[in-house]
């Protein structure tokens, strides 16, 4: 691991903020690192308000989109709400279909089959709309590159409204409206909304035109917060406000489906991290192992008893997903070890029988293991489909674009993407992708980096310090949980390994600035037990967290890495 201590912010700015807020130098420094330099900026950060949300009509094509929906409702047209099969897509469909059903009974939901139709808008979906008299399709979390499919729909007298957040290509589809903050001609102030976030802006615009109070839309924010966490978009600006209020809904008045999922996980108060690792995988499991519509059914269900039945079925899908994920990961790791090529800057693996629903998870695991831009391929009909994952600092989307001569279609983000290609092009693509990445990537990006916010002593850590730190949440990209380093720590003699095969490290540290020892846990750091024996002085990198055990709550260090000084 590369340890990188962030540059210290300007001393005068830190002192000014410290005095105006009445906080410690460390807290003030952490805020300045996040671009918060004044009392007003700090107030906005610590006390997010719904007034901080932008007017939805600032988004390009929003006026046209709202007008077309009003026309459809007035004329009793049949409307299809179409979304991707992942968390962002299914939450978007649940949000949009529920809202539109309050305006019209002629609303149906559609999620493409991951295996029969693949990602995004499909001809099969358009044919279904045509055969069922649907004249307006609202696509969420997909569609920005569906130029031919939107044209096909138009030939069949079906209009499209696209709500997407992926990067557009050189052209955008000729839909009635294309809502995407990343459009070059869109002046919407915040560019990092997820698909469900764009959908929320659309229903906000409709609600605004109907002169209805915004607070009526708050129950939808549990869906938006879940999509924000699962889609790994920055938790800054509007996303931070939406996630903040969405978590309040999840923890106080969750919809029946979420309540059923939370009961199964036995969590009390959920953070955004809990949402990402408990609710999101289960919603995803439906689309991975069965069909995304099962997840939508769960999220729109109002009866808690019925929601519990759906949640039980989804839990079974999630169990199957975990088993498939384990099996494929083992096979992929074996394939990499058997590969005689050395010094590759990429990891690209393929087996035709791998389950398409879990290759994205496997790609993430391989990236964690080998820390290379990674592609996991499987057979999908007559083509090969892959999920791509990248390392921090490297844009895999751009690398795919540079290799696109061998790709049928692709789309995604800087760190995660999907693609399809023909089997005959697989060897050529694999070679081209390696060449592109090798020529573009900075070699140091191939070693994982830990970014450290600041050095502190244990004497600075008390209840007040942690109480303020908690208010930095919700944490995520763009606003990660503060990472600290403390030097000259020693183990108090109780260090041990815990968990299966002693994978994890449990110990208690103290340092010479404080009489208070701190319990610490380091997941997957069991092999470092020997380093902290014999009173070696240790530098430890960690997050602070609360640990609840037998009704008692105490602060503990979540170790990220450590080494002998």
Number of domains in the chain: 3
Tell whether 526 is covered by a domain: yes
> According to the model, what pLDDT value does residue 419 have?
94
| Contact between residue 150 and residue 30 where contact means Cβ atoms under 8 Å apart | no
Residue 2 lies in a domain: no
308 and 354, same domain (yes or no):
no
pLDDT given for residue 408 in this prediction: 93
Residues 509, 409 within the same domain: no
Same domain, 173 and 268: yes
Same domain, 274 and 351: no
Helix (H) or strand (E) holding 300, with range, is helix 292-300
pLDDT value of residue 267: 78
Could you tell me if residue 3 is inside a domain? Answer: no
Instruction: For 9, list phi and psi in degrees, rounded to 5.
Output: -70, 165
* Residues 100 and 133 placed together within one structural domain of the fold: yes
Q: Are 541 and 513 in contact (CB under 8 A)?
A: no
Q: Which pLDDT score, from 0 to 100, does residue 372 have? A: 96
pLDDT profile of the chain (565 residues), mean per 10: 94 96 96 95 95 98 98 98 94 98 97 86 97 98 96 98 94 97 96 97 98 97 96 93 97 95 84 91 89 94 96 93 94 90 91 94 94 96 94 95 94 89 96 97 95 95 94 93 95 90 93 88 94 88 88 89 92
Asked, for residue 377, whether it belongs to a domain, the answer is yes
Question: Is 171 in the same domain as 111?
Answer: yes
479 forms beta bridges with: 476
Predicted local distance difference test score (pLDDT) of residue 493: 86
Q: Which of 446, 476, 493 is the last residue of a domain?
A: 446
Which residues are within 8 A (CB) of 184 and not within 5 positions of it... i.e. 6 or more apart?
Answer: 168
Which tokens belong to 263? 């009961």
Enclosing H/E stretch for 489: strand 484-491
Helix pair angle (304-338, 256-265), 10° resolution: 60
437 within some domain: yes
Same domain? For 300 and 412 the reply is: no
Range of the domain at 351: 339-446
Last residue of a domain, one of 417, 446, 475: 446
- Dihedral of alpha carbons 83, 85, 91, 93, sign: positive
Angle at CA of residue 149, ends 145 and 152, nearest 5°: 150
Residue 218 lies in a domain: yes
- Specify whether 163 is located in the same domain as 85: yes
Task: Judge whether 299 lies within some domain.
Answer: yes
16 domain residue, yes or no: no
* Alpha carbons 68 and 62: distance in angstroms, whole number: 10
């Amino acid at each position: 691991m590369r340890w990188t201590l962030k540059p210290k912010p300007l001393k005068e700015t830190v002192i000014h903020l410290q005095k105006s807020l009445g906080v410690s130098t460390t807290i003030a420094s952490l805020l300045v690192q996040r671009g918060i330099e004044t009392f007003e900026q700090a107030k906005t950060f610590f006390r997010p308000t719904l007034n901080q949300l932008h007017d939805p009509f600032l988004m390009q094509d929003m006026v046209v989109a709202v007008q077309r929906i009003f026309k459809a409702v007035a004329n009793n047209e049949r409307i299809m709400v179409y979304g991707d099969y992942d968390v962002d897509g299914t939450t978007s469909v649940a949000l949009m279909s529920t809202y539109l059903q309050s305006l019209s009974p002629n609303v149906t939901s559609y999620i493409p089959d991951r295996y029969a139709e693949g990602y995004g808008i499909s001809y099969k979906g358009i044919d279904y709309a045509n055969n069922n008299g649907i004249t307006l399709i609202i696509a969420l979390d997909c569609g920005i590159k569906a130029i031919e499919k939107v044209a096909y729909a138009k030939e069949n007298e079906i209009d499209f409204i696209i709500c997407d957040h992926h990067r557009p290509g050189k052209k955008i589809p000729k839909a009635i409206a294309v809502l995407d903050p990343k459009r070059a001609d869109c002046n919407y102030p915040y560019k990092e909304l997820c698909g469900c976030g764009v959908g929320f802006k659309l229903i906000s615009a409709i609600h605004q035109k109907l002169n209805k109070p915004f607070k009526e839309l708050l129950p939808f924010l549990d869906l938006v917060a879940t999509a924000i966490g699962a889609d790994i978009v920055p938790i800054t600006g509007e996303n931070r406000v939406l996630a903040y209020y969405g978590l309040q809904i999840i923890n106080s008045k969750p919809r029946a489906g979420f309540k059923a999922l939370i009961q199964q996980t036995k969590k009390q108060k959920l953070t955004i991290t809990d949402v990402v690792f408990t609710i999101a995988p289960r919603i995803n499991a439906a689309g991975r192992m069965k069909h995304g519509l099962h997840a939508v059914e769960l999220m729109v269900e109002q009866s808690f008893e019925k929601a519990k039945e759906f949640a039980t079925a989804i839990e079974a899908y999630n169990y199957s997903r975990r088993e498939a994920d384990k099996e494929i990961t083992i096979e992929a790791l074996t394939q990499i070890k058997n590969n005689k090529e050395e010094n590759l800057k990429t990891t690209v693996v393929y087996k035709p029988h791998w389950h398409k629903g879990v290759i994205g998870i496997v790609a993430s695991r391989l990236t964690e293991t080998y820390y290379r831009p990674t592609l996991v391929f499987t057979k999908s009909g007559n083509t090969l489909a892959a999920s791509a994952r990248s390392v921090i600092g490297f844009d895999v989307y751009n690398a795919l674009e540079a290799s696109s001569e061998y790709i049928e279609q692709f789309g995604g983000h800087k760190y995660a993407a999907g693609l399809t290609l023909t089997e005959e092009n697989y060897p050529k693509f694999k070679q081209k992708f390696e060449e592109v990445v090798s020529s573009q990537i900075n070699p140091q990006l191939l070693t994982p980096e830990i970014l450290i916010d600041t050095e502190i002593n244990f004497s600075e850590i008390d209840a007040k310090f942690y109480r303020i730190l908690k208010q930095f949440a919700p944490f995520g990209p763009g606003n990660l949980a503060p990472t600290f380093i403390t030097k000259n720590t020693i183990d108090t003699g109780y260090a041990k390994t815990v968990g299966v095969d002693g994978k994890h490290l449990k110990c208690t540290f103290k340092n010479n600035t404080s009489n208070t020892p701190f319990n610490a846990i380091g997941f997957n750091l069991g092999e470092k037990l020997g380093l902290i024996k014999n009173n070696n002085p240790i530098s430890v990198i960690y997050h602070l967290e609360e640990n609840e055990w037998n009704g008692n709550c105490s602060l503990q260090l979540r170790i990220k890495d450590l080494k002998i000084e």
